[in-house]
Each structure stands twice: as structure tokens, then as C-alpha cells.
Homo-oligomer: A and B are copies of this chain.
């Protein structure tokens, strides 16, 4: 089946396979070397960059749908994603878009479930982008990491979804630990601070940061300092995995 035939079939009969009116979009943030990125697809059908998204099979748990969609569309596997918000504005599914594209496909808007309204569930994850290798699916020209502050024009309301996911990621720093799988096993306080500064996109006071992050109890200081540093070699830290997991589940602000 050609790509065009495959798309045509999806537009005309996809509702026999998938749930109607609801979709999933994955906002995959990537961190490495003090840069925060987001994973985008260049979708053939939309001729625009989009978040990797798709639909839920009729008998599929939504969490598994999100995993399957991410894997099929970007090649990324074994990524821990969490649902964070449903986007439900009625105007987010403009019926008028892509008439030309549909005409080329030979599909009328009124014949396609794809032009009904969709609520979309945003799933997020934060990974080390140097450790994964994105591969675009057959519906896409490209699958690439973009700097979070330098993204191209996006499909539909995907920019808004991305902004809200970023805001959510930043807010979570207030009560969830971050850094496991993003930093080396042992890291220095300046390295950890740089991770926070990159996500928050602002400078933090060194002493205040250290006091607060140590206060959360998720760190263990090692009896080892970083070698080869000019003077005042910084100590290495690692995460206390038990406390990290606990703080991830329960929040770490104000444990009663």
C-alpha cells in the first residue's frame, strides 16, 4: 500500500480501529549538557512540525497507547511518561484545515472521523537526549530534537501544549526531585544546579540552592571531590534512591 493509500484508509476507516474524539500527544523533553530540548516530528500529512501523537486502539489502555504511539512514531522505547493534562477546547480541532491535502487524498471532510472534534491527552517525559536515537515513522520526514526556546511553527495547538508542559515541568521542581538518569551517577552541586537552571531558564543563588536541595534529603554527599578543578574542588553527590523514589511519589515539600 502506498503512503497515500495508507493515509486515505486511515482517514476513512480509522474509527473502526481507534476510539473517537480522543487522541494522545507526547511531549518528550530532553536534557543534556545544560540544554533543554523537545522532540518533534515533521509530519508529511500536515506539512508542519508536530508533537508525536496518535490514537487509542479500541481495546487498549491509554498509558499503553501512549507508549506504543511514541515507539511507532519516534523509535523511542521504554520511556516513562505520565499523563499531565487533557486539552479540550472545542476550537482546537479546526474543521477547515488541510482542505487541499484532503482533496489530494480524495477524502471529503464530512466522510472522515479525523475531522470530528478531538480532546487530546498530553503525556510528558524528561530523558537524556544523548541516550536515545529518534527514528521518524513512515508518515514523517523527520524526527528531531529542538531547543525548547527555538522551535518551528507547530500544528494546531501544539505550541500551547508544549508551553503548558514546560510550565508543568518547572512547577514540579518545587515538589518533585529531578536529575536521576539525566546526570552522571555521581555529580557535583554546580552540575545539579545547572540542571535546575536550565529547566527553569533562570540563574539561581548558589548558597540558597544548596541549602534547599540538601534540605530535601534526596542527596548523599560522597567522601570524594572532583579532581582537576582549579581550586576548592567540589564534593561529589549521588541520589539516595529510596528517598528519591519516595519524594517522587509523595512530593517533598511538607511531609506530615
Q: Which residues of A contact B (CB under 8 A)?
A: 19-22, 56, 58-63, 83, 85-86, 88-90, 117, 119, 121, 171-175, 196, 200, 204, 208-209, 212-213, 215-216, 249-256
Tell whether, in the assembled complex, residue B60 and residue A90 are in contact, meaning their CB atoms are under 8 Å apart. yes
Tell whether, in the assembled complex, residue B22 and residue A254 are in contact, meaning their CB atoms are under 8 Å apart. no
Assembled-state Cα–Cα distance A171/B85 (Å): 18
Tell whether, in the assembled complex, residue B216 and residue A254 are in contact, meaning their CB atoms are under 8 Å apart. yes
Assembled-state Cα–Cα distance A56/B88 (Å): 10
Select which of B56, B88, B196, B216 is within 8 A of A61 by beta carbon.
B88
Assembled-state Cα–Cα distance A159/B60 (Å): 22
Interface of A is mostly: mixed
Chain B residue with the shortest CB-CB distance to A83? B86
A5 to chain B, nearest CB (A): 27
Chain B residue with the shortest CB-CB distance to A92? B61
Query: Chain B contacts of A59 at CB under 8 A?
Result: 90, 117
- Given the interface pairs A88-B56, A90-B60, the reply to whether A251 lies near B175 with Cβ below 8 Å is yes
A248 to chain B, nearest CB (A): 11
Tell whether, in the assembled complex, residue A121 and residue B86 are in contact, meaning their CB atoms are under 8 Å apart. yes
Query: Chain B contacts of A256 at CB under 8 A?
Result: 173-174, 196, 200, 204, 208-209, 212
Chain B residue with the shortest CB-CB distance to A62? B88
Assembled-state Cα–Cα distance A213/B22 (Å): 41
Tell whether, in the assembled complex, residue B22 and residue A174 are in contact, meaning their CB atoms are under 8 Å apart. no
Shortest Cβ-Cβ A-B pairs, 7 listed: A253-B253, A62-B88, A174-B251, A175-B175, A175-B253, A19-B21, A175-B251
A3 to chain B, nearest CB (A): 28
Tell whether, in the assembled complex, residue B62 and residue A119 are in contact, meaning their CB atoms are under 8 Å apart. yes
A218 to chain B, nearest CB (A): 10
